[in-house]
Amino acid sequence: MAELSPETLQFIRAHRTEDVRTLALQARKYPQVDMAAAVVQIAGWQIAEKKVPLWAQTEGIRYPAHLSMEQCSSEITARYKASWLKGDTMADLTGGLGVDCSFLARNFRKVDYVERQEVLCELARHNFPLLGLPQVTVHEADGVDYLQQMEPVDCLFLDPARRDSQGGKTVAIADCEPDVQKLEPLLVEKGRTVVVKLSPMLDIFSSLRELKYIRQIHVVAVNNECKELLVVLQKSEKSASGASEEVWISCEQAVNNFLAEPFVFTYAQEKEAQCPLAEEVGNYLYEPGAALLKAGPYRLLGARFGLQKLHVNSHLYTSEVLVDFPGRRFRVLEVSGFGKKELKQMLQGVDKANLTVRNFPASVAELRKKWKLKEGGDVYLFATTLEGDRHVVIKCVKA
């Protein structure tokens, strides 16, 4: 990693809030500045300020090219993992930029960061001491090769690459690099606890079928967008003998960097839960957060919060009295069928609204065009299906 001149470092500090494309065109004005390097560092700092504030606040941190910054974890998701992963020794087999490692490492006495890209290893050697992490040793090596020869540790962490040779995103476990399914027996031998970060688009049931030693799955959403699917692997006497153990699912939802109380369940509990279906829409409507919609405790949500479900496939809930709920809550103003006259009456005076479809045979774009609605405002419209397969539009405001 090339050293930056004092002039370049001063330029980065002075201009790090400015537009990098404009700065790149001004290279001739600053002949003593390595403008190409400065632009990379400024762009990296600007991403870190929003995504990893602790790094942005730490003087001297160096950043890589754009792709590694876009792919790295956010501080909120890294801190979440650090809230429950603790021990004496740890190895991160897919080090990358090192954001996850930098937060997890604070909970361990000895940490090995493994990464095969030389430039990322150089950055890690530079950044970890600045972040107060002398216990981290950087290894420029292939993670699979390192895994085969390493001593067992308390925690193994992997974030497999989810891009194919053409740079396109992949989702399936078998398409990731390295292939966790093939490595699983060795992973649970070398790590007492193994945490694998998978695509938030991955079907949870497919991971349950493909991986033998899953003990927990954490579905992590930030500001109602699913960001991570964390699979915890552990070997035990039961799993070694072939007997199945119930997998616990933890739905984590962060809003404005604040983690709400997790919703924890097993699919056996979901299967046994009783959730009555509503005959009509009550005074209040509830939409589960993204992590819950991903994980699927649809009956349990109704059972635990005393709600009725609108339809077995709608995943919307209702009640007469407002209750605390891990998702969006709305006060119902009006419910309309799809008759031309009653719809016209409901939409009278509404030129813009927030429109959602749930279990409904038309898209948001189709309905917005048909009803001539702009996006936004204080009104929320839900096009959905009630029990008995009745199609309705529910008009609400936030509760």
The pLDDT score that the predictor gives to residue 386 is 96
Per-residue tokens: 92: 């991160």
Q: What is the CA radius of gyration of the chain?
A: 25
Q: What are the Cα distances from residue 138, in Å, to 75, 88, 111?
A: 21, 17, 9
Handedness of CA 259, 261, 265, 270 (dihedral sign): negative
Decide if 367 contacts 357 (C-beta within 8 A). yes
Strand 317-319 vs strand 308-309: parallel, antiparallel, or unpaired? antiparallel
Q: What are the Cα distances from residue 194, in Å, to 140, 231, 252, 295, 371?
A: 21, 8, 19, 20, 51
The pLDDT score that the predictor gives to residue 66 is 74
Counting Cβ atoms within 10 Å, is residue 284 exposed (0-12), middle (13-18) or buried (19+)?
A: buried
| One pLDDT digit (tens) per residue for the chain, 399 residues | 889 999 999 999 999 999 999 999 999 999 999 999 999 999 999 999 999 999 999 999 999 987 677 778 899 999 999 999 999 999 999 999 999 999 999 999 999 999 999 999 999 999 999 999 999 999 999 999 999 999 999 999 999 987 555 555 666 887 888 999 999 999 999 999 999 999 899 999 888 889 999 999 999 999 999 999 999 999 875 554 444 468 999 999 998 778 788 999 999 999 999 999 999 999 999 999 999 999 999 999 999 999 999 999 999 999 999 999 999 999 999 999 999 999 999 999 999 999 999 999 999 999 999 999 999 999 999 999 999 999 999 999 999
The pLDDT score that the predictor gives to residue 93 is 98
How far from the centroid of its chain's Cα atoms is residue 76's Cα? 10
Alpha helices in 107-236, H assignment, sequence order: 118-130, 143-149, 180-190, 204-210
DSSP category for residue 51 = H
The pLDDT score that the predictor gives to residue 164 is 55
* Helices 6-15 & 35-51 angle (0-180, nearest 10): 40
User: Residue 223 is which amino acid?
Assistant: N
The pLDDT score that the predictor gives to residue 240 is 47
- Beta strands, E only, the chain: 89-92, 110-115, 136-140, 153-158, 191-198, 214-222, 225-233, 248-255, 258-259, 263-266, 284-288, 308-309, 317-319, 327-336, 352-358, 374-386, 390-398
The pLDDT score that the predictor gives to residue 245 is 63
Number of residues that make up the chain: 399
> What is the Cα–Cα distance from 128 to 144, expressed in whole angstroms?
23
> What is the Cα–Cα distance from 139 to 339, expressed in whole angstroms?
67
How far from the centroid of its chain's Cα atoms is residue 116's Cα? 25
Q: Which residues are CB-contacts of 252 (< 8 A; sequence separation ≥ 6)?
A: 80, 218, 219, 220, 221, 259, 260, 262, 291
